[in-house]
Chains A and B, each alone.
Chain A
Amino acid sequence: MVQKQRQDAAINALRMIPTKWAVIIVVAIIGYVLLQPQINKWFGLSLPSVASLVGDEKQTSQKKQEKFDSNEKTSTTKADSKASKAATEEKPDKDDSVNKAPTSQPRVSQPRDSQSRDSQPRDSQPRDSQPRVSQPRDSQPRVSQPTVGAERDSEKVHGFLTEIGRNRFESPAGLVYGSGSEEGHRLKHIERHLEDQPKRPGSHGVFEGDMHAFLVAIDDAYSRAKRGDKGTKKIQDEGSTIYEASFKKPIGFLGGQEGGRKRNPPLKQLRVVVRGNSLITAFPF
């Protein structure tokens, strides 16, 4: 009854006011209808909906309350934690694949800068033994951003290179590792510089670290030398470019026969030979 009286009063009031004001009021009401749920959400207010003001209060308010309650249940209050746990535990049964993937791939949101790559546990797991595709792609959901990122991460070769074609891999700095060299692939070729070859005539630069660390160092040296940073050099040769960059700390030692003669002195510089953007070789010197 009271509501009907309110409605009548409102209609009478609208009749009395000029058209211009009526239009403004209508626009304001529409704006309120659209913005009210958002305002409630943003500021935690409980502004009544127009429907509830007009009289359709029961139906809509019940729905809202249910929604609000379910949101509150999943929030962090301790009192509701049991209820929220029950609510969230029920969901995986309905769509198991969607919810499992992000939790099984925790490294997805890491930034791609070189420091974070360095901070990854290098020695805990041999990278070569890591399966490149740990899960069949089709079984992975593609709905959420973290899962997509995880897919990319699992596809990285040596945890660093992205496959861009058949046997072609690209580093974040844009160096391409493809087939070639005596070993058949540039990655195989540079792998020779992870170990000393004491019988090899002349010098043989040896990088101290695993393949991932070596690739990171190559990318770092290449980027700095390409920019022309201090302590770098760029030499243009017949069809190829030689980049040299120094590091603050030793990155390896001098191996080979010459290195043996000199008692394997530490090396602080890296030489990167490229043709176009394809890596030919890289080694400490």
Chain B
Amino acid sequence: MNSQDSKIIYVESCPICGDGLCRIRICISNQKVTGFILCDECEAMWTDPFMQERVPTNADETDPQCPSCRQSIWGKNMHWANIGEVCLLGWFDQVQMVDE
């Protein structure tokens, strides 16, 4: 485990629940890396760190689905973004970092 893994990378506190952190979730499927914003508390989702567009979820879903691969956001091909991935997505200026 490197030092990057022990950092929480987030955009801001969740405007929906007020207690969660809007963090970057990475999906890797079919050799394609996709990122979206996910509140680690209430699981509200946005398409990007500007947080203008919500990702819709259904009330009957136990787990919300990744907007890219349509698998559970807590599935095997998902993880929280590290700094490299944040840079790759071009979202570095929009995030904050703290030690976990």
A residues sitting closer than 8 Å to B (CB atoms) are 178-182, 184, 199-205, 237-242, 271, 273, 275-276, 278, 280-281, 283, 285
Contacts and interface: CB of A to CB of B under 8 A. Distances in A.
B98 A240 contact: no
A280 B43 contact: yes
Contacts of A278: 62
Interface of B: 8, 10, 13, 16-21, 40-44, 54-64, 74, 96, 98-100
Given A281-B17, A283-B19, A285-B18, A239 B64 contact: yes
Nearest to A242: B17
16 contacts: A180-B62, A201-B10, A201-B98, A238-B55, A239-B64, A240-B44, A240-B59, A271-B17, A273-B41, A273-B42, A275-B60, A276-B60, A278-B62, A280-B43, A281-B43, A285-B18
Nearest to A258: B13
Contacts of A275: 43, 57, 59-62, 64
Nearest to B25: A182
B70 to A, nearest CB: 15
B16 A242 contact: yes
Question: Which 4 pairs between the two chains have the least Cβ-Cβ distance?
Answer: A239-B57, A202-B13, A273-B42, A276-B59
Interface of B is mostly: loop
A179 B21 CA distance: 21
A182 B62 CA distance: 13
Contacts of B59: 239-241, 275-276
A201 B13 contact: yes
A203 B17 CA distance: 11
Interface of A is mostly: loop
Contacts of B61: 239, 275
Nearest to B41: A281
Nearest to A179: B62
B98 A237 contact: no
A237 B18 contact: no
A280 B61 CA distance: 11
Contact of B41 (A179, A237, A283): A283
Contact of A242 (B40, B42, B56, B58): B42
Nearest to A176: B62
Contacts of A200: 8, 21, 98
A168 B98 CA distance: 34
Given A199-B99, A239-B56, A273-B17, A181 B74 contact: yes
Nearest to B80: A182
B44 A238 contact: yes
Contact of A280 (B21, B42, B98): B42
A61 B42 CA distance: 75
A280 B19 CA distance: 13
Contacts of B64: 239, 275
Contacts of A276: 59-60
Contacts of B63: 180
B43 A240 contact: yes
Given A203-B13, A204-B19, A280-B43, A238 B57 contact: yes
